[in-house]
């Protein structure tokens, strides 16, 4: 069956529903697309119907992120809150060997089975996999999306490093919301994404969070890694960050920029390993240098502050070189191993590796590399947690509590 195209006319008449992954990042991205004439809504429905619809229309044997993202959208469509004749969906496609490239086809099949086959599904990709006349990723739009990722990464890092120590409860989240609104408004006004503006606002962010009064005390520091959706999405990981904060921990979650650099760098590594198009190599290197520049702005904004900055992508790549090959790049690939090494190196050696049950790349580059990581960092304390419809929250949290009990003894 032919797919339903998202046309130019639909851009004016349709609301696009987006499955949520990163609360702060996606709020900013929503405003960017609004400024380009799209009407978007980040979905916030997280009740049991999301899992039920996913199981009903997607299949239990596919990975948990596919089940949840599709289930969230189908559940929303069935809620009665949307005009189905003027609603579209959006799904990312990486174009790599991970099943994520096929989520969109699973979703369309699920929609047809649910009697919703007329709903257009937009593919957001940079691999030329699918095109829609009413949706295009132009270079200026991509530039703003990268800026949103940088702002989101910094806000996530700053809030996580302040919240556990704040004297006035709620102050961190208030400031986080203020900055999210401010950056969103700047993008709506076509501001906030030039190099000069970004340096200015990133530094202002860091200094504003440093002004929050904190208690000087030691807490267990925990890093979160894993498959990108389960690592970030509260729906997928049963509110893992919130749970760790309730256990009196400081949380560190590696940002989105590292993953973006990894995906571009993979194209360059492919050409090194197997040969390929020289023009593609030049384009990818230019894009890589562009992303590296933005990564530098983020790290520089933390200089002279009390905050622990993330490691550079090049540092992660060097750190992981003796441990795993760069050709291991399906899903999160060697980056997952590198993030665990970098967390252990920077004082966040208590690590939760969140992975969808049945995600082969994550079990190899995550759980499979624990012994090598502990050999390099003997104090690393790592627990791999599987997330799927059949895994109970109580069991997951009990296993994390066992890891935390060891962490508290070490502290």
Domain locations along the chain:
8-136, 219-255+310-410
pLDDT on residue 130: 87
pLDDT on residue 369: 95
Kindly report the CATH class assigned to 219-255+310-410: alpha beta
Task: Kindly give the confidence (pLDDT) of every residue in the chain, 411 residues in length, as a single tens digit, with 9 standing for 90 and above.
Answer: 578 999 999 999 999 999 999 999 999 999 999 999 999 999 999 999 999 999 999 877 788 999 999 999 999 999 999 999 999 999 988 766 777 778 888 999 999 999 999 999 999 987 777 889 999 999 999 999 999 999 999 999 999 999 999 999 999 999 999 999 999 999 989 899 999 999 999 999 999 999 999 999 999 999 999 999 999 999 999 999 999 999 999 999 999 999 999 999 999 998 988 888 889 899 999 999 999 999 999 999 999 999 999 999 999 999 999 999 998 988 899 999 999 999 999 999 999 999 998 788 888 999 999 999 999 999 999 999 999 998 899 999 999 999 999 999 988
pLDDT on residue 360: 84
pLDDT on residue 1: 55
In this chain, the answer to whether the domains covering 8-136 and 219-255+310-410 adopt an identical fold is yes
pLDDT on residue 95: 67
3-state secondary structure the chain: CCCCCCCHHHHHHCEEEECCCCHHHHHHHHHHHHHCCCEEEECCCCCHHHHHHHHHHCCCCCCHHHHHHHHHHHHHHHCCCCCHHHEEEEEECCCCCCHHHHHHHHHHHHHHHCCCCCCCEEEECCCCCCCECCECCCHHHHHHHHHHHHHHHHHHHHHHHHHHHECCCCHHHHHHHHHHHHHHHHHHCCCCCCHHHHHHHHHHHHHHHHCCCECCCCCEEEEEEECHHHHHCCCCCCCHHHHHHHCCEEEECCCHHHHHHHHHHHHHHHHHHHCCCHHHHHHHHHHHHHHHHHHHHHHHHCCCCCCCCCCCHHHHHHHHCCCCCCCCCCCCHHHHHHHHHHHHHCCCCEEEEEEECCCHHHHHHCHHHHHHHHHHCCCCEEEEEEECCCCCHHHHHHHHHHHHHHHHHHC
At 301-352, the pLDDT tens digits run 999 999 999 999 999 999 999 999 998 988 899 999 999 999 999 999 999 9
**Which pTM value belongs to this model?**
0.94
Kindly report the CATH class assigned to 8-136: alpha beta
């Amino acid at each position: 069956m032919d797919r339903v195209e998202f046309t130019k006319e639909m851009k004016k008449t349709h609301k696009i529903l987006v499955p949520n992954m990163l609360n702060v990042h996606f709020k900013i991205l929503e405003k960017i697309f609004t400024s380009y004439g799209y009407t978007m809504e980040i979905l916030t429905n997280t009740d049991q119907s999301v899992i039920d619809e996913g199981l009903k229309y997607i299949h239990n044997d596919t990975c948990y992120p596919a089940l949840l993202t599709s289930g969230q959208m189908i559940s929303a469509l069935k809620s009665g809150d949307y005009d189905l004749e003027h609603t579209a969906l959006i799904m990312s496609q990486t174009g790599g060997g991970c099943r994520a490239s096929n989520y969109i086809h699973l979703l369309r099949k699920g929609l047809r089975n649910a009697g919703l086959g007329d709903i257009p599904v937009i593919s957001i990709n940079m691999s030329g996999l699918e095109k829609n006349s009413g949706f295009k990723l132009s270079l200026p739009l991509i530039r703003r999306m990268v800026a949103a990722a940088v702002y989101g990464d910094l806000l996530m890092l700053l809030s996580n490093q302040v919240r556990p120590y704040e004297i006035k409860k709620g102050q961190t989240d208030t400031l986080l919301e203020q900055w999210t609104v401010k950056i969103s408004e700047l993008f709506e006004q076509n501001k906030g994404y030039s190099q000069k503006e970004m340096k200015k606002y990133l530094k202002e962010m860091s200094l504003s969070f440093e002004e929050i009064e904190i208690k000087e005390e030691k807490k267990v520091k925990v890093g979160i890694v894993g498959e990108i959706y389960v690592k970030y999405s509260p729906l997928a990981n049963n509110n893992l960050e919130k749970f760790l904060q309730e256990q009196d921990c400081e949380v560190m979650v590696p940002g989105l920029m590292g993953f973006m650099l990894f995906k571009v760098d993979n194209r360059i590594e492919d050409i090194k390993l197997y040969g390929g198009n020289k023009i593609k190599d030049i384009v990818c290197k230019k894009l890589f240098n562009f992303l590296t520049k933005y990564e530098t702005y983020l790290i520089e904004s933390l200089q002279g502050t009390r905050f622990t900055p993330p490691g550079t992508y090049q540092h992660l790549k060097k750190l992981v070189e003796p441990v795993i090959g760069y050709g291991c790049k399906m899903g999160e690939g060697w980056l997952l191993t590198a993030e665990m090494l970098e967390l252990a190196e920077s004082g966040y050696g208590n690590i939760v590796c969140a992975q969808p049950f049945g995600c082969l790349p994550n079990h190899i580059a995550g759980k499979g590399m624990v012994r090598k990581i502990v050999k390099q960092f003997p104090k690393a304390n790592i627990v791999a947690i599987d997330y799927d419809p059949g895994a109970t929250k109580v069991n997951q949290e009990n296993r994390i509590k066992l890891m935390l009990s060891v962490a508290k003894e070490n502290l």
